[in-house]
Amino acid sequence: MPREFSRNQRLGNQVLRILSELLRFQIKDPRLQGVSLTSVDLSRDLSIAKVGFSLLDPDGDPETVLEALRSATGFLRGKLGRTIKVRHVPELRFAHDDSAAESVRIGKLIERALSGDEPR
């Protein structure tokens, strides 16, 4: 019987949960307020974790947040290594995920198009 989830997916979900908790409760950097981690994509050999993040403020600067996340990478990897049971803690690479802002923009376009179709 095939497994429902691969090891990469299970470990990716665990890494996402742990990093989200660390970001929420242990990181004190004010540049990381209003940041949400959206996804973790692990490489096949589990050596690299691509972590997606989004901003709760759509007008926020993702470059500032990216810089803050990169500076906290050592701390995050250390805590991650003490929490999960793997031989090598994956290298963390952060990328801005603008899908939430894009969905808001598309929703506004749809609303504007629908309001233009209303009978007058």
Give the per-residue SS3 of 77-109.
HHHHHHHCCCCCCCEEEEEECCHHHHHHHHHHH
The domain segmentation of the chain, as residue ranges, is 7-117
pTM reported for the whole predicted model: 0.81
DSSP H or E stretch at residue 7:
helix 7-25
Tens of pLDDT, residues 12-48:
999 999 999 999 999 999 999 889 999 999 999 999 9
The answer to whether the CB of 54 falls within 8 A of the CB of 99 is: yes
As given in the structure block, the two tokens for residue 76 are 């995050």
Architecture of the domain spanning 7-117: 2-Layer Sandwich (3.30)
Cβ neighbours for 31, distance < 8 A, ≥ 6 positions apart: 64, 65, 67, 68
Q: Across all residues in the chain, what is the average pLDDT?
A: 89
Report the DSSP beta bridge partners of residue 48.
Answer: 91
